[in-house]
Structure formats: structure tokens, C-alpha cells
Structure 1
Amino acid sequence: MTRIVLVRHGRTAWNVERRVQGSSDIPLDDTGRAQAATAGALLAAAVAGGAGWDAVHASPLSR
């Protein structure tokens, strides 16, 4: 069975202002960096638990 995992970027100042970011490279704020660290830890735990991926696709944006 194919499994797809989607992870959205963490919070930015533009999220707080309810502005559309699109392809603008708005940096994460402090909360967004904490959210990204949590997501990374959860993904690392999944891999340690035996999960794996055949491919990973990521945006070139820094956020």
C-alpha cells in the first residue's frame, strides 16, 4: 500500500497576518521554528520505528 505523508511549513509572520505567501520566501517565526523541530522529531521517530520512504519531495523555500 502506498503511504503519503504531508507536512506543512511552520508558522510565519505572514500566517499571523493572514497574508497569502505563495512562492514568497517568508522565514519561520519562533513558533514556526519550534513547529518544524517538532515535525522533524516526529519524522525521525517514525524512521527509528521502521517507517521509511521511497521518495521525499520538498519546496526549495527556506521555510
Structure 2
Amino acid sequence: MTNLKVHAPAPVDLEGDMASLWGDCARMVPHWAAPDRTLPLPVSPSRIHGVTVPSTSARLLEAMSDYGD
């Protein structure tokens, strides 16, 4: 017969204060692997297509100064 009982390694805090969240995160750190940092490659303008801007938005941006208001 299979034992279907599940035992949590730490008591579950259903109220969830910040200290409990920090503790949960600290216990999960060994299970997470951060990917190597990669820099995004620039996209050629010829590959950008299908973007439409409503004329009202274009007029709003055109009326703004280059350095903000």
C-alpha cells in the first residue's frame, strides 16, 4: 500500500507575513537556477512591421517637447 501522506518541511503560515515569505524564499533558493545573463541583440528595422499608432497618439507625442514638459 502506498503512503499518501504529505509532510511539509515547515509549518504553513496561512496569514502570510513578510518574515514568513522571506523564509519560504530562502528555502527555495537552492531549487532555482538563474540563467546566464545575456544581452539582447539589436533588431533590424526591416524586421519591425505591423505596428500601428493611432493618429491621436501620434499627435500627442508630436506636441510634446523633446526633453519632457
Query: What range is the shorter-chain TM-score in?
Result: under 0.3
Greater Rg over alpha carbons, structure: 2
Give the TM-score normalised by structure 2.
0.23
